[in-house]
Structure 1
């Protein structure tokens, strides 16, 4: 007999993208997942792809928050070996930052965003403890 996994998530995520009268788009995401905490989401975008990207980011943000909260890790606790040495753990650190930039060019919008530490200071940061052997590849910068 197959064991039932209590953490098993079932359901679907339906995405509908609708053209608005103003030529912009709204993306509606309707999750029917068994653990999803809220109802449908609507996100607006300049293009179909932009609306979808924003909606998926909001969905990912909800799941990042859930993953971090469920770990219930004390931020300052350090586990130590029997000899008293700190035991290093592995963490997936996700940094999310958005802003509306009014600049002369796309280059200026990017350049002025990455100047200084404002991105890190104003970002939403999620820290999730992970196993050392989990195959997670962090996203790379555009210029790598």
Structure 2
């Protein structure tokens, strides 16, 4: 059996947070994506942690989209066994939804978001096929 070594991937992400004159924190995130238009993410937050969280979520969204596109899988294709049975596969499904809403309390903000189909209708869904043996 041929021994293989894992491919080493080393990418650096730079995160700089500054307190702006307007009292908000600006997170400037530089990442190694090959598309120059996506190399920089700028996000404001109430605190430095809030700004970083928003920027990292945007970065994660970009990488999820890249991973999904790399698979180049037709959404409607069903793989079948030789006897015609549909083969079940494992998928990593991400539903990403963010919004800002006016509410009287944190509970009301959460409750109003959960009610109805707002999250599903306005959420971004990413579906990535994964190997059933992928460690959790």
TM norm structure 2: 0.90
The answer to whether 1:93 aligns with 2:90 is no
1:83-131 deviation line (CA, Å, top 9, x unaligned): 1100000000000001111010110000000012211111000000000
Q: SS at the partner of 1:78?
A: coil
Partners of 2:70 and 2:88 in 1: CA distance: 21
TM norm structure 1: 0.85
Matches within 5 A, 1:5-16: 5=7, 9-16=9-16
Matches within 5 A, 1:60-139: 60-136=60-136
Q: SS at the partner of 1:100?
A: coil
Q: CA deviation at 1:4?
A: 8.4
Runs of 4+ residues deviating >2 angstroms: 2-5, 8-11, 35-39
List gaps (5 residues or longer) in structure 2. Answer: none
Number of aligned residue pairs: 132
Partners of 1:67 and 1:82 in 2: CA distance: 29
Partners of 1:21 and 1:122 in 2: CA distance: 33
CA-based RMSD: 1.8
Q: CA deviation at 1:3?
A: 6.3
List gaps (5 residues or longer) in structure 1. Answer: 137-144
Partners of 2:14 and 2:40 in 1: CA distance: 10
